Amino acid sequence: MKNLTLRILLPLIPLVIIAVVAEMLSRYGVVAPYILPPPSDIFATFSTDAAEYYSATKDTISAALLGLVLAGISGVIIAILFSSSRLIERSLYPYATFFQTVPIVSIAPLLVIWFGFGFRTVVISSFIVSIFPVIANTFAGLRATDPALLDLFRLYGSSRLNVLLKLRLPQAVPQILTGLKISTGLAMIGAVIGEFIAGGGLGGVIDASRTQQRLDKVFAAVLLASFSGLLLLFLLNLLSNSILKTWKGHHD
């Protein structure tokens, strides 16, 4: 218990120190408030603009979550296709890495042209950024099937579909979850960047506040975006741990 308290308290100490230093720097005029707003102002905007932040956070989280779910489903399906045929893998895998290497900022304007302003484009942006880790991890998991068990399935004349459904996919579950966890943070980034261009959500608040020189609001939105990401990751960890617990029984 004492350990847990320490683990929560210790990371808070640097935060408090930084906040106090930042507060003093701007209060005593060392740094102008339009460069670094005092933390007290940032916290004040949370209550004055509470309704705006609430709905923006809700939009961003919904977009990131939807992008993540779509990436999870399509990523697993694409990985299954890759693992089912060398030919498909060899000819298409290089293009899958496109999702990993494309700077989302550079194609976000295109997305707006194709899909318009608003929620849909934000979801697509989040989807594009977060799909690759799911593909890569699922594919690795599908490939890493126990050869002895493959022999066993062969021994009883199993169909390829049964090998996939009863062996390869269930065996890949831990790796699929790992991929999803990596993608969670990315989904959040993809959503916020999408919102810069397509509007709405926390990304929209950041962009609008920046042009109004309201750095206190920018900082508040950035903090909310980070906490939303942490929240998503926390929820995914909960889900992943409970799935893994049933997957491998109660002992480690």
Partner 1 sequence: MTIGPEKILFQNVHKDFQSTGKVLRDLNFTAESGDFIVLLGRSGAGKSTLLRLLAGLEHPTSGLLKINLNSSNDRGYVFQEPHLMPWRTLAENVGLPLELMGVAKKEILARAETALKQVQLPDAGHLKPSELSGGMKMRASLARALVAEPSLLLLDEPFAALDEQTRFKLSEDLRELWFKKRMTVVFVTHSVQEACFLGNRILILSERPSVIKHDVKINLPEVRKMDLRTDASFNNELKKIYDLLDSTQKAGSV
Q: Is 171 in the site for partner 1 (CB under 8 A)?
A: yes
Q: Is 166 in the site for partner 1 (CB under 8 A)?
A: yes
Distance of CA 233 to the CA centre of its chain: 7
Q: Which 29-88 residues touch partner 1, going by CB under 8 A? A: none
Site string for partner 1, 187-226 (x = CB under 8 A): ----------------------------------------
The closest of 219, 205, 201 to 43, measured between CA atoms, is 219
Residue closer to partner 1 (CB basis): 32 or 239 = 239
Tokens representing 13 are 């100490």
Measured between alpha carbons, how far is residue 34 from residues 42, 111, 178, 217, 223 in Å?
A: 12, 32, 41, 11, 17
Q: Is 151 in the site for partner 1 (CB under 8 A)?
A: yes
The residues, any chain, with a CB within 8 Å of residue 224's CB and separated by 6 or more, are: 53, 56, 57, 202
Q: Minimum distance from CB of 156 to partner 1 (Å)? A: 4
What is d(CA 134, CA 74) in angstroms, rounded to the nearest whole number? 9
Distance of CA 130 to the CA centre of its chain: 6
Q: Is 161 in the site for partner 1 (CB under 8 A)?
A: no
Q: Is 247 in the site for partner 1 (CB under 8 A)?
A: yes
Please, where are the H alpha helices in 144-214?
A: 147-155, 160-162, 169-198, 201-211
Q: Which of 3, 12, 156, 161 binds partner 1 (CB under 8 A)?
A: 156
Q: Is 155 in the site for partner 1 (CB under 8 A)?
A: yes
Residue closer to partner 1 (CB basis): 130 or 175 = 175
Tokens representing 16 are 């408090």
Q: Is 160 in the site for partner 1 (CB under 8 A)?
A: no
Binding site for partner 1 (CB under 8 A): 146, 148-149, 151-158, 162, 166-167, 170-171, 173, 246-252
